[in-house]
């Protein structure tokens, strides 16, 4: 298949996802639609490496991840990041709900080994899935090795629509309070009336505007991402910290001290392409979901996901109520475990865009829903899931 043929086909899928999301006012997520179309494509005429043919190999996707996550950090303030302790507690409670219900009810419905292999991929990303897949293969459990990958590939089909529904309910509730003057977003509490975003960050105000080019913005963004990477490398002998988690944190700090402007990728006219590339790479994982694989493991996969999501909902709703967070928002942040970044950003953004045309209202909803969704996604996928995979793989191999 020619490169431009592959690229055009993939762009058509992403556009169809946007159209369906817009027509249904985000009740059906674009991410969900695209995932379905990718699966159909792989089952019919897509070459297995269509994303790479189109020009997005894994190395490019990794680069885009560094830049995008650092860019996302500029959306948050230090105060907003500190306020996310409730999000972290709720997210951990949701994961606890998955573990508890699957180890109890799940072990009755399925065997214990199946549950052990399934839990880490269900609350995380590709790293935890690979750890459990390799552990199952080492233990001689070939079908469970495939199950670990399959759950990682398919769990988004539950997470995408559920998250969209929860966020729409939360958004409508908060929008009504905002219009009645019953709620003031964090960014308005900090700044009074929202000030216009500065095009040039404070530390570089003395530099003539003609030198603030698209490349200068991306250069400064790359410096921050590079610092995050090396801090992760240097801290590795003492504590393992994902460079992507550090990218988010350093993005917050860099924008707070005036080294980065808000959303430098957007100001450099690069954000859309970066999201495009990363989304294609995420959907690339669906090539592993063959019809034969789905037929063999369909029942355990669906059963595990359903039981896990029920446990997640119950635990997160209870803890959310104790912390004064609505059950919809509590469930939404917990659901990020099923897909992580960038789907958490895209789903949240498209829900916000569907709820209002007013820019001030969009900013209010963004300040309320985006920070917890981003923080929750990194907590689950990059940290907790890998820890669980290490523990559960050891148990599996000791049986």
Phi/psi of residue 207, nearest 5 degrees: -80, 130
pLDDT in tens, 142-160: 778 778 877 877 777 788 8
In percent, the amount of the chain with pLDDT more than 90 equals 28
Torsion of CA 263, 251, 131, 103, to 10 degrees: -90
Give the HSE-up count for residue 342: Cα atoms under 13 Å, Cβ half-sphere.
Answer: 28
> Average model confidence (pLDDT) for the chain?
84
| 385 or 198, which is more confident | 385
Report d(CA 339, CA 358) in Å as an integer. Answer: 29
At residue 397, the pLDDT reads 82
At residue 320, the pLDDT reads 92
Report d(CA 221, CA 227) in Å as an integer. Answer: 10
At residue 194, the pLDDT reads 43
Q: Is the pLDDT of residue 229 over 90?
A: yes
72-93: average pLDDT = 81
Report d(CA 219, CA 80) in Å as an integer. Answer: 26
pLDDT in tens, 17-58: 889 888 887 677 787 788 889 989 999 999 989 999 999 998
At residue 382, the pLDDT reads 60
Report d(CA 9, CA 155) in Å as an integer. Answer: 24
At residue 195, the pLDDT reads 44
At residue 7, the pLDDT reads 95
At residue 249, the pLDDT reads 85
Report d(CA 235, CA 256) in Å as an integer. Answer: 24
Torsion of CA 241, 242, 248, 252, to 10 degrees: 20
| 178 or 240, which is more confident | 178
Three-class secondary structure of residue 166 per DSSP: helix
């Amino acid at each position: 298949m020619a490169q431009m043929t592959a690229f055009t086909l993939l762009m058509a899928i992403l556009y169809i996802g946007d159209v369906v999301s817009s027509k249904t006012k985000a009740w059906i997520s674009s991410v969900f639609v695209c995932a379905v179309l990718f699966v159909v494509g792989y089952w019919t005429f897509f070459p297995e490496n269509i994303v790479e043919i189109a020009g997005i190999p894994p190395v490019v996707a990794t680069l885009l991840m560094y830049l995008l996550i650092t860019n996302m950090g500029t959306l948050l303030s230090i105060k907003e990041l500190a306020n996310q302790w409730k999000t972290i507690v709720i997210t951990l409670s949701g994961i606890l709900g998955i573990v508890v219900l699957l180890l109890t009810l799940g072990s009755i419905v399925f065997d214990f080994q199946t549950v052990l292999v399934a839990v880490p991929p269900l609350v995380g990303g590709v790293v935890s899935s690979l750890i459990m897949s390799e552990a199952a293969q080492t233990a001689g459990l070939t079908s469970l090795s495939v199950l670990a990958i399959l759950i990682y590939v398919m769990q988004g089909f539950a997470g995408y629509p559920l998250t969209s529904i929860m966020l729409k309910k939360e958004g409508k509730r908060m929008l009504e309070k905002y219009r009645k003057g019953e709620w003031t977003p964090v960014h308005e509490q900090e700044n009074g009336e929202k000030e216009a975003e500065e095009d040039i960050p404070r530390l570089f105000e003395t530099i003539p505007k003609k030198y603030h080019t698209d490349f200068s913005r991306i250069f400064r963004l790359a410096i921050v991402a590079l610092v995050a990477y090396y801090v992760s490398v240097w801290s590795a002998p003492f504590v393992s910290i994902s460079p992507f988690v550090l990218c988010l944190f350093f993005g917050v700090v860099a924008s707070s001290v005036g080294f980065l402007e808000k959303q430098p990728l957007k100001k450099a006219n690069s954000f859309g392409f970066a999201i495009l590339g990363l989304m294609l790479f995420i959907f690339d994982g669906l090539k592993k979901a063959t019809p034969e694989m789905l037929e063999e493991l369909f029942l355990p996969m669906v059963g595990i996901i359903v039981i896990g999501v029920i446990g997640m909902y119950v635990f997160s709703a209870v803890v959310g109520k104790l912390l004064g967070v609505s059950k919809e928002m509590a469930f939404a942040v917990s659901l990020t475990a099923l897909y992580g970044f960038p789907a958490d950003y895209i789903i949240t953004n498209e829900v916000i865009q569907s709820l209002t045309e007013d820019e001030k209202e969009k900013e209010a909803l963004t300040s309320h829903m985006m920070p917890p969704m981003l923080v929750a996604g990194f907590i689950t996928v990059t940290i907790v899931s890998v820890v669980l995979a290490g523990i559960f793989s050891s148990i599996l191999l000791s049986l």
